Amino acid sequence: MKVLFVAAEVAPYVKTGGLADVAAALPQALQHAGHEVRVVMPRYRELRERGVPMSGPVAASFLPIGERAEEQRVWRSLESDVPVYFLDIPAAFERQAIYGEPDDHRRFILFCRGVMDTIQHLREVEGWSPDVVHAHDWHAALVVNYIKTFYHYTFGHMATVYTIHNLAYQGQVHPDTLALAGLSEGGLVENGMGYGLANTFNCMARGILYADVVTTVSPTYAREIMTMAYGERLDGLLRHRADRVRGILNGIDTTVFDPATDRHLAAPYTVEDMAGKAACKAALQQRCGLAVDPARPLLGVVSRLVEQKGLDLLHAVLPGLLRETNAQVVVLGSGQPYLQEAFLRHGEAHGDRVSVKIGFDVALAQQIYAGSDALLMPSRFEPCGLGQLIALRYGTVPIVRATGGLADTVREGLDGNGFVFHPHDARHFAEAIGRALACYRDPIGWAAVRDRGMREDHSWASAAVQYAAVYQWARRLIGH
Ligand code: ADP
């Protein structure tokens, strides 16, 4: 099948979170399985400044936005197995930020308009027409909307799949913005009336409503988002489309995330020969200014510091953890200022036990995955989570809250690969850490948990098979 991916971030070009990893690795896995994949993403200023090699422009057009039109030029990647098209829309992407601008809705309306022109270009000039358009998260959702309404006559034969990576970010703005997008309230108000969607313009909701198939990134999250507790006010709409919703667990790129070859590590290691992991732990302790001591349990965090990730629980349990155990803690992350400050204060007060680095640092992240004994993920909700999958591969035992993809990948018990708690509160988190530290004191028991995790296969191959089946299904749904 020919599949066009549409995403706002794609690694290694631009990455702020898990979406970038998925949008990079899944196309490769699909291509490996014999499908033909191309990817479209914005050409952010950062890409131009870094001099990412690309050819072009291969196409140029003007994109309507309300009463105006903005210029777009399309560039094509040079050095990737899967062709990537970069939409260069200066009005939208010629600025420092990736997201979080006051006019994000306008920027990504332009992006989706640009994608439609690019589909046209691919067909007319390059002779390539997708069987399936696979749009990711709210930034790309209007592509599905356009295919099913505005462009139905021209592109209606293309099946559409929409993937929710995080339901919390919906791209919801004032309904006046509809005019900018050239869309009408149309089906959404009709069908969405009962779901609190009248009088808003919600990109995520439009993706969910119009796509032939909606997927999300773990089976548990697919069930959770149909409940009020996790549905972010779209649970009604999701229940309405329940027979079209599937959960497919993300994989990780096991060639990138491999402790045997990771060039960021002090020493390589494998499940058969773990000596290198001890060297990684010592190097991490040293780099972070902690006492270099192989016997002390080292707990790592690599995370956005936002409400979702539940790290306020770590803030709450840290004093007790430092008082009652000999554990060390390394935190790498950035996000909400109050959390950053809270962790920095812990670091200042206990410099030899707690190390805090605020920022986004790919090399240090890998060193934490490799050098820690356990990784903490006390998430409130977690669509899939990549951290625990990387940790498992690096022989770092995940301690997680049972939600979303964490519930689907981490098990505690006789054949466990980690430690799991259920109610989202400090007591249950502290107890889970307590059980992990008790296990850590028994080297044979700990090695058994750790090695089981390391031997699991979380590569993209199995997800690619499931996505291919979803694409076939979406095509059958529209009569192919
Ligand atoms: P989310 O997409 O919600 O942030 P995921 O667990 O799905 O969470 O993916 C997060 C990805 O970003 C992982 O690959 C993780 O290692 C990486 N990451 C998160 N924070 C940082 C950071 N401060 N520095 C480097 N990498 C980070």
Q: Give the domains, in start order, of the chain with CATH numbers.
A: 2-251+461-477 (3.40.50.2000), 275-457 (3.40.50.2000)
Residue 183: predicted pLDDT: 87
Residue nearest to atom 4 of ligand 1 (CA): 17
Residue nearest to atom 16 of ligand 1 (CA): 387
pTM tops 0.75: yes
List the chain residues with pLDDT less than 70.
186-198
- The reply to whether ligand 1 has any atom less than 6 angstroms from the CB of 365 is yes
Cα(305)–Cα(339) distance, integer angstroms: 6
> Which amino acid does the sequence have at 93?
F
Lookup result for tokens 């690096």: 394
* ∠ CA 176-181-182, rounded to 5°: 95
Residue 18: predicted pLDDT: 85
304 CA to centre of own chain: 11
Three-class SS state of 218: coil
- The reply to whether ligand 1 has any atom less than 6 angstroms from the CB of 361 is yes
Cα(265)–Cα(276) distance, integer angstroms: 9
Of 32, 38, 44, 6, which Cα lies nearest the Cα of 251?
32
Cα(409)–Cα(398) distance, integer angstroms: 10
Structure tokens at 140: 């790309």
Q: Ligand 1 center to residue 19 CA distance, Å?
A: 10
Residue nearest to atom 19 of ligand 1 (CA): 303
Helix (H) or strand (E) holding 342: helix 337-349
Neighbours of 209 (CB within 10 A): 27
Whether residue 57 has a cis bond before it, omega within 30° of 0: yes
**For the chain, how are helix, strand and coil distributed in percent, rounded to 5?**
45, 20, 35
Three-class SS state of 457: coil
Residue 191: predicted pLDDT: 55
Structure tokens at 180: 């900018």
Q: Ligand 1 center to residue 180 CA distance, Å?
A: 33
Cβ proximity of 139 and 147 under 8 Å:
no
Beta-carbon contacts of 314 under 8 Å, excluding residues fewer than 6 positions away, are 301, 329, 331, 376, 378, 429
- The reply to whether ligand 1 has any atom less than 6 angstroms from the CB of 387 is yes
Q: How many CA atoms lie within 13 A of 254 on its CB side?
A: 16
